[in-house]
Structure 1
C-alpha cells in the first residue's frame, strides 16, 4: 500500500489543487465568489475594505472587509472582451455592445425613440489595395484568371487559376510577397484613426456644399453621430463598419433639417470618402506615402422594427456585438498580446503574410521619424492602434452607464443619496487568474450558467416569449 505522500505525488497538479480547495473550510464561500463573477476565466484579486457611516452620528451602517473572505481577497470580473481569453466576460461585453449600438438606432436609456425616424446608414469603408491577393471565389469562378500567364519581376505568376473557399489557407495571401507593399499596409493601419476623422470632417464639408451653406452654418442645424467597429479582412487589412445617423444641432433630442435624408447622406458619404487624402511623415528610408480609403464602399439604409427597406436595426446591432468579442487569434490577423522581441514574431502561430506585417511593424518602429506611431508596441495588431469599437459622444449611452445599471439591478436598486452618509473604500490589487484546480471549477460554473441561459431561451421560444 502506498502511503499518503506517495499517493499525492501520483496525483496530477490539478487533482492536488482540487483536493486543497475542497478541504478549505471556506470552500462554499469561494464557490459563491466564482459564481458571482459568472465563472470568469481570469478574475482580478483585490484586498481591502469598504465602510459606510453616518457623519452626524458616527454610526457605521455597513462594513465589508476581505479579511473574512477565502484567501483574504475578493474576486471580480476581468471584463475582457475577447472570447478566446474569457468567454463569460466576453458574453457580457457583447450584450453591452448590442444595447449600446441598438439604443442609438431605436432609442432607449437616455436616447429618444424618434431617432429611428432619422436618416441612418450602415457603412463599410475598406482599405485600398497593397498588392494582389488570393480571394474567395464563388460558382466555380477562378481566383485571378489571366490569358497571357504573365509573371511579376520576381518570377511569380500574376494570375491564379484556382478556386478558393474561405477555409483555403491561400485566401488573403499575396500572389507575390515581394511585390506586396507591406510598409504601406502598416502605415495605413497606424493612421486609420486619422483617416476616419478626415472622413467625418469631409461629411460636414460635403453636406454644407450640397445645400449651399458654410460648414459653420451647417453645424448650427445638424450633427453627425456614429458608432463604428473595426474588422480584419482575410488579407489582414482593417475595414470599418459604422452606423451613421443625422441629428439636429443639439444631438439625439433634436431632429435634423427636412432636407437631411438618407438619400442625401448616401450620396455624400461616397464623395466624402473618395476625397480623403493623408500624407505620412517623410522618411529617408520610405519616402512619403499617400493614404486613402479603398474604392469598395457599401452604404445601406437602416429600418426600424422590420418596416420599410434596408437592413434591420437589431441585425446590425447583433452583428457589431458579435464581432467585438473576437480576438486577433480568431481572425488570424495578429495576436492578443504584445510582442516584445523579434523572436516572438518568429514563434507566432500566424500565416507568413501576417508574420511579414509584424516584421514590417518592428522594422519601421525602429525608425526615429516614425517613433510617434509606436509601431513596435502595436506589432501584434499589425500597426492598428485604435479601439475595436468607438462612438461619437452623442450617439447613445456608454459602457460605463450600462455596467452601472446592471450592477444596480443585481444589487436590488440603490437608495437615494444621503448627504450625511460617507463611504470610505481602500482597495489594492493583489493578483489575477486561477490556480489549476480553481480554473477547472470556474469553467464548470461558466458552462452550467451557459446551459441555464440556453434552457431559458428554449423555454421562451417554446412559449412564444418571456414575461
Structure 2
C-alpha cells in the first residue's frame, strides 16, 4: 500500500469521526464528484424582492471548512469527469430539443427537414490511417473487422526526404501511429494550424452560402419573400426560409478539427419573426441536402498575409463531406443517436491526439514545442512561430529608411491568437455552438436545475415563505481543490452513490410505467 493511499484513508477517517460529518457532506453536495471544486469566501444575504428587506445573512466563516464549495464546471472529461457528465447531459438536451421540441421549443420542429452533416479538413500530407472497405460486424462500437493495408502503393518509392511513401501495416484501432504523418518534413504543419485557426470563419461563410442557395431555390419556384417587422418598427423583406444549426467540433487524431452539424430548415412567420414554423411546402430536405453540397464546393477563404507566406493560406473543406438525413425513430440515424453522439464529443478536446495541456506560456511552451520533434511538437511550434510578434516600426534618419524589428506598429500580427490557442493546436472556437433559434440555452438548463435543487427538499408548508426569496452573494475566490485527499474521497464517493440511486430509481419508475402499460 502506498504512502499516499495510507494518508488519504487516515484523512478520510479523521473527517468521518468529526461530530458534524453528515453536515459537512450535505454542505459539499453541490461540488460532490468535482475534481477541483472552487472555494469561495464571503457573505450570503437573503433579500425580499421588491422591498429589499434583508431576511437573513450568513458569512462563510459559519459554514463547515469556513468556505463555500462550488463545482468547477469544466466541460472536459479529461479534466473533471463529473462536471463533464453534467455538461454532456445539458448538451444532449440542447441538441435533442432542437430536433424533437420541449423546454420552450415547440414540438412542431419534428416536422422540419433536418440533415446531419460532417465537414472535414483537407489533406496536409499523407498520414497513417485505418480503413475498413466493408464491415461485417454486427456492432460498429465493437468492430472487429480486418482493416485494409494503410497505404499500399507498390510503386510509391520514397519521398524527397528519403522516407517510404507507402505503408502496408494493418493498423489496430488503438495503434499510436494512426494520424501521424508518413514523413514529418513533407507534412504542412503550418497550413494545418492555420486551418484550425480559420475554420470558424470558413463555417460562417458556408452557412451563409447554404442560405443563399435556398433563397435562390425559393426564387426559382415562385415562393415570395416575407415581410416582417423589426424591433425598431421597420418593415423588412426577408427570405421565406432560414437555417438553424447545432454544431460540435471534434479533433481528429492528426490534430485537425472537423465539424458535426445538425442543419434544420425553418420557415418565417410574418406576424412573429421569432416563432419556429415549418418551411414553405415547396422546399424539402432534398433542397437542404443539395445546398450543403453546393456550399462546400464553392466556399474558399484566403487568410491575411503573413511574413512567412505573403499570399496567405487557402482555407477550404476536405473532399469527405458526409450528409445524412435524420430518419424515423427506428432508423440508423435518429434524433436520440445524433444527440448522444454530439453530447459525447462536446466533452472532449485534444485527448485523441495524445496532447492535453493547459494554456501555454513563454515559460512552458518549450516543454511541448519542437521544430524537429514529433507531429504534435511541430504543430505547437507552428502555432508559436506563426503567432510571434511580427510588428515593426519604420523611421527615417538623414533621408534613409530603417526598419527596427520588434518595435510596435499600428498593424499587429493577424495570427497573434495562435499563441493563445497553441495548446489547442490552433483551434480557438467553442466545441459546441448553435444558432440562436435552434434550441434552448445552457443558461436556461442551469437555472432550471438550480431552481429544482433549491426546492428539492423544501416542504410544501414552507415553500410559500421561501419562494420569493432572492439570495445576494458577495463572494471572493480563495482557492481550488479539496482541502485534503480524504475529503475528495468522501465527497466524490457520496456523489457517486447519489447518482447510482437516481439511476436505479429512474429504471424502477420506467419499469413500473411499462408494466402498467403492458397490463
Normalised-by-shorter TM-score class:
0.7 to 0.9
| Residue number in structure 2 paired with 1:101 | 95
Matched, 1:386 2:429: yes
> Partner of 1:315 in structure 2?
337
Q: Does 1:269 align with 2:295?
A: no
Partner of 1:280: 303
In 1, distance between residues paired with 2:113 and 2:194? 33
Q: Is the 8 A contact 1:301 1:310 kept in 2?
A: no
Tell me the CA shift for residue 382 of structure 1: 0.1
Change (3 A) 1:466 1:336: farther
Helix, strand or coil: the match of 1:376? helix
Matching residue within 433, 436, 444 for 2:481:
433
What SS does structure 1 have at the residue aligned with 2:55? strand
Q: CA deviation at 1:344?
A: 4.2
Contact 1:358 1:380 (8 Å CA) reproduced: yes
Alpha-carbon distance between aligned partners in 1 of 2:172 and 2:9, rounded to the nearest angstrom: 44
In the other structure, the counterpart of 2:283 is 260
In structure 2, what is the Cα distance between the partners aligned to 1:282 and 1:343? 28
Task: Give yes or no for contact 2:130–2:148 (8 Å, CA) kept in 1.
Answer: no
Match of 2:195 among 184, 188, 195: 188
Q: Deviations over 1:242-269 (max 9, x none)?
A: 1110111235522211122111100110
1:137 and 2:111 aligned: no
Partner in structure 2 of residue 452 of structure 1: 501
Tell me whether 1:82 sits opposite 2:71 in the alignment.
no
Instruction: Report the TM-score when normalising by structure 2.
Output: 0.80
How many angstroms apart in 1 are the aligned matches of 2:356 and 2:382? 15
Query: Equivalents in 2 of 1:50, 1:429: separation in Å?
Result: 14
> Following TM superposition, by how much is the alpha carbon of 1:304 offset from its aligned partner in structure 2, in angstroms?
4.6
1:370, distance to aligned residue in structure 2 (A): 3.7
- Check conservation: 1:339, 1:345, Cα contact below 8 A: no
Using the alignment, how far apart are the partners of 1:430 and 1:405 within structure 2?
A: 28
Q: Output the CA distance in 1 between the equivalents of 2:452 and 2:514.
A: 22
Aligned to 2:383: 361
Deviations 1:59-104, CA, capped at 9 Å, x for gaps: 6434343232012211111111112222221111111110110000
Shift of 1:25: 4.5
**How far has the Cα of 1:107 moved from its partner?**
0.4
Range that drifts further, 385-394 or 133-142:
133-142
User: Which of 390, 396, 420 is residue 377 of structure 1 equivalent to?
Assistant: 420
Question: Equivalent of 1:43, from 14, 37, 40?
Answer: 37
Shift of 1:451: 3.5
Match of 1:154 among 150, 161, 177: 161
Q: Distance in 1 between matches of 2:496 and 2:44?
A: 32
Q: Aligned in 2, Cα 1:318/1:127: closer, same or farther, shift over 3 Å?
A: same
Distance 1:38 1:383 in 2: 34
CA distance in 2, matches of 1:339, 1:360: 13
Unmatched tracts of structure 1, length 5 or more: 1-8
- The whole-number CA distance in structure 2 between the counterparts of 1:466 and 1:67 is 51
Residue in structure 2 matched with residue 237 of structure 1 by the alignment: 256
- Does the 8 Å CA contact 1:143/1:160 hold for their aligned counterparts? yes
Contact 2:129 2:179 in 1 (8 A): yes
Task: Tell me: CA distance 1:412–1:447, structure 2 relative to 1, closer, same or farther (3 Å).
Answer: closer
Q: CA deviation at 1:211?
A: 3.4
Q: 2 CA distance for matches of 1:460 and 1:466?
A: 10
Distance of aligned partners of 1:124 and 1:61 in 2 relative to their CA distance in 1, 3 Å threshold: same
Where does structure 2 lack aligned partners over 5 or more consecutive residues? 133-145, 227-237, 391-411
1:357-393 deviation line (CA, Å, top 9, x unaligned):
1111111111426455411111111000001100010
1:13-42: CA deviation from partner (whole Å, max 9, x where unpaired): 435543553455443322212233332221
Supply the distance in 2 between the matched residues of 1:215 and 1:354 (Cα, whole angstroms): 51
Q: What CA distance in whole angstroms lies between the structure 1 residues aligned with 2:121 and 2:261?
A: 14
> Structure 1, residues 199-235: CA drift from partner, whole Å, max 9, x if none?
0111122222333369994843122100100001122
Structure 1 CA distance, aligned partners of 2:431 and 2:223?
A: 30
Measured in 2, the distance between the counterparts of 1:86 and 1:44 equals 12
Displacement after TM superposition at 1:441 (Å): 1.8
Contact persistence 2:171–2:178 (CA under 8 A): yes
Alpha-carbon distance in structure 2 between the residues aligned to 1:343 and 1:428: 28
1:113 pairs, out of 107, 113, 124, with 107
Cα root mean square deviation, aligned: 3.2
- 1:305/1:162 Cα in 2 relative to 1: closer, same or farther (>3 Å)? closer
Quote the offset at 1:191 in angstroms.
Answer: 0.5
Q: 1:339 aligned to 2:382?
A: no
CA contact (8 A) 1:80 1:86 kept: yes
Structure 2 residue matching 1:358: 3-state secondary structure: helix
